[in-house]
Chains A and B, each alone.
Chain A
């Protein structure tokens, strides 16, 4: 699915250079469910952003589905995101002015594939159990419900890769478990999922866990 070789990322200001990622090498196969763990500031989110083509690496190689993407243009990155990737964020990132259904639709707006949008949105909402709230605004929902809508949004375009940045970080135990069950189900259906998390219990749901510290991968566990 994707291969990282000696990937690095530095942030430069006029005086200092901060190395956020250093010599990351990682291979993820199609259909895998991978968890990334580590303390705050270890580079998890930076890595996830690069994997999601939201950001670019400073050096090294990133091959996504056989294609080298470490140094392609912003427009190309946009195309890749559109074609292959779905996102779930810790803070849900739903647009307040849009309804639940419209928020899900955002993931389809920028794609060319025709098909019945309404049916796909309804189906995605059905899968996360939020169909009955399609006309509500995000503010009217609980945190757990908002995250389920965000997952529906990530699902609706049938991406091959779903990236989740602490999807349970803002949720209570019950809601967190529900979200993990959802992701597990999606993984079972064939999508590749990479998830950043602080919770060992949730990481255990994934079949493979990578631990990071100070921008490097320090250990790996395979179940």
Chain B
């Protein structure tokens, strides 16, 4: 008795192979896309899940007079010792401070970021050890702990414990332990941890400094709580620590305020990132969008299934009649149709699993993740099984109910007139579903168009940056290095500046037009010729010129100095000015050194965005202070980049610079800047493609169903003299209404969502109305193209064939 429905269901599927293939393909595509998106969402939500939940990180915000705030992912190096002493709830605390070194073993040499760390780091941030003893690994100076990838890179083995590395070819460091590679979903990006007790480390150097008023936000500080303690107690202690341990009074001469905050490591990913974040933060909006799209695709696949199942229903009316006449009850029949649904949904899921397993490596490479898909694990398998059953019941219930409720007489008589009427009247749900599916499709289409346009917009500003064809070289701006680079073939010019783009270094200075009107401007020190090399021309005034004496370091005796500056348009607005011409000659006073340090505006240049489009352009005052130089920008003739990079390495060695040259082509920097946005664009475009494919499969099936349902009508109309074209138009017209309704439904929702999304960018494309019209038009064209073939085929049939259908 129970076996029968499954056997029958299977045979029925085999009978309509084309139909079953269409159904299973639609489900498989939908499941595969939804699974990949869900895996991505799961990975994002599981960020830093490998660390215990009671691990916290201290971060800081420095607020300048005038309200400008700089947020650091780290805090001051001096804070940790004080926290451990003053806050009893803290069980262990450890610091990490990054520093760039050229690392070498044998013939393997590369530039790496080394994390100098306190010995107890691994008891605060537990990691899986592969070799050595983590508890004591960083106790001794000159000891390093490597991740497995680093161990393989330098030693070619997984456990080079006891072997040595050289930093900048001088300092010998001993490997004491190897840890498992960090998962891709952690905020940490580190491969080499080294003992902060090493005397030449920046951590040891900082600790050796005398106490005094200062703030440095570059030390990553993590702690764990004692059992039962809450972070609230730590938070309450923080304001006092600023005063007692960092020696920054609440009221100070500079008017700065330092605010410390505490964040669970598991919350770091979706929190706003500081200027020295190891990784770009996650976007809750993007993850939410991915989850929504996964659900929409799943919903689309269900709608599809219902449409295809009902499309086939009219053909099966006779079967229902025969079975009912033979005594089958409604329940038995419903069970059979549900069984069919389970078989199809299960087959779709099986295909989807295979597809996902195949695609996962590419998906990971694209996202730069190491997402796994252990679908055989009981918890994962249970979820997948639940999805199959839920979808089967949701999607299979409607066709099962309708079909099993047919009265045997009607069903046997096969009076399509009566059957059709029932479909039409009871088909309201189905029509709503179709509208919803079209609405999802149109919405995705418009959304991905907006995202794609924004990506193009961002890529445009990245391209402007890259088009300068610069290489940034992180080094002191000595004459030898600069002239050496300038003489290289393929290098057009070399200009010096304070490190920017290549580092997170940022200087903010407070300036005032009067003692009550204090403004914070980011000052960037550049040599004469720098602004010209980057293609900037003054809107008013002039740029720096050595002949005018513009380039000058602060006087060594600390005497009074007037600094000449060129400001950007944002700074001009921040100063309350609108006419660039009126700003020239304006004199401001440094709040930190009143009566000693003055600024005069000699020029105004357009904004020059060098950061992400998500971040507004900062108010910048370019000054020309050689003491701050630490980077060279070499402009290279297009097409000669490789040659120039090789030459730079030679000049670097010849100038006696330690280790390997630290270079960054500006085009690479620009590409990195927009990688996440580009990924979003690709992801949504692909998802839209999948939704489109599913909808087309559904439409194709439905067009077949509707054409069949109207066969008699077509015959009559043709007998009355309708031409093939007129009948085809009639069949196509029935799809216009749902498309129009879908657009009305989708437009406001997408408009609201996309306005929200674009608001996350400081600079963005307008939300143009034509995009909405285009989205609707594309849906319409795709719809017509999908159903046109079927429509024309049916319309071309000779009228006798249609009438004989009766």
Contact = CB atoms under 8 A, between A and B. Distances in A.
Given A78-B723, A93-B806, A110-B723, A139 B421 contact: yes
17 contacts: A55-B800, A74-B724, A78-B722, A79-B721, A81-B721, A87-B720, A93-B715, A93-B716, A93-B719, A93-B803, A95-B716, A96-B417, A96-B421, A106-B720, A109-B722, A110-B717, A110-B723
Contact of B720 (A74, A91, A96, A110): A110
B417 A52 contact: no
A201 interface: no
A28 B758 CA distance: 77
A96 B423 CA distance: 12
Contact of A110 (B421, B722, B799, B800): B722
A102 B151 CA distance: 83
A49 interface: yes
Contacts of B672: none
Interface string A95-119: 1110000000011011100000000
Interface residues of B, number: 22
A33 interface: no
Interface residue tally on A, bucketed by range: 20 to 34
Contact of B717 (A75, A79, A106): A106
**Which 9 A/B pairs are nearest by Cβ-Cβ distance?**
A82-B721, A110-B721, A55-B800, A95-B713, A81-B721, A54-B800, A54-B799, A110-B722, A107-B720
A62 interface: no
Contacts of B650: none
Contacts of A139: 417, 421
Interface string B684-713: 000000000000000000000000000011
B267 interface: no
Given A74-B798, A95-B713, A139-B421, A89 B803 contact: yes
A55 B798 contact: yes
B424 interface: yes
A106 B712 CA distance: 14
- Chain B at the A interface: SS class: helix
B803 A54 contact: yes
Contacts of B181: none
A77 to B, nearest CB: 9
Interface in B496-527: none
Interface in B50-107: none
Interface string B404-448: 000000000000010011001000000000000000000000000
B726 interface: yes
Interface of B: 417, 420-421, 424, 712-713, 715-724, 726, 798-800, 803, 806
Contacts of A96: 417, 420-421
Contacts of A89: 803
B174 to A, nearest CB: 86
Contact of A78 (B721, B800, B803): B721
Nearest to B719: A87
Interface string A133-176: 00000010000000000000100000000000000000000000
B718 to A, nearest CB: 7
A89 B718 CA distance: 14
A153 B720 CA distance: 9
Contacts of A91: 806
Contacts of B719: 52, 54, 81, 87, 93
A89 B804 CA distance: 11
Contacts of B421: 96, 139
A155 B394 CA distance: 50
B721 to A, nearest CB: 3
Contact of A111 (B417, B712, B721, B806): B721
Contacts of B718: 54, 78
Contact of A49 (B713, B724, B800): B800
Nearest to A107: B720
A52 B803 CA distance: 13
A110 B726 contact: yes
Among A49, A75, A153, chain B packs the most CB atoms within 10 A around the CB of A49
Given A96-B417, A107-B720, A110-B721, 5 more contacts: A75-B723, A93-B715, A94-B716, A97-B424, A111-B721
B160 to A, nearest CB: 76
Contacts of B726: 110
A93 B715 CA distance: 9
Interface string A59-77: 0000000000000001100
Contacts of A95: 712-713, 716-717
Interface centre among B424, B712, B720, B798 (most CB of A within 10 A): B720
A106 B716 contact: yes
Most interface-central of A54, A79, A106 (chain B CB within 10 A): A54
Nearest to B798: A55
Contacts of A79: 721
A87 B715 CA distance: 12
Contacts of B720: 81-82, 87, 106-107, 109-110, 153
A97 B421 CA distance: 8
Contacts of A93: 712, 715-716, 719, 803, 806
A10 B103 CA distance: 90
Interface string A31-57: 000000000000000000100101100
B286 to A, nearest CB: 47
A142 to B, nearest CB: 14
Contacts of A111: 721
B739 to A, nearest CB: 20
Contacts of B722: 78, 109-110
Nearest to B416: A96
Nearest to A56: B798
Contacts of B724: 74
Q: Which one of B417, B716, B721, B800 has the greatest number of beta carbons of chain A within 10 Å?
A: B721
B431 to A, nearest CB: 14
Given A78-B723, A89-B803, A54 B717 contact: no
Contacts of B723: 75, 78, 110
A91 to B, nearest CB: 6
B517 to A, nearest CB: 76
Contacts of A81: 719-721
Contacts of B721: 78-79, 81-83, 107, 110-111
Contacts of A109: 717, 720, 722
A95 B710 CA distance: 9
A54 B716 contact: no
A83 B721 CA distance: 8
A95 B421 CA distance: 11
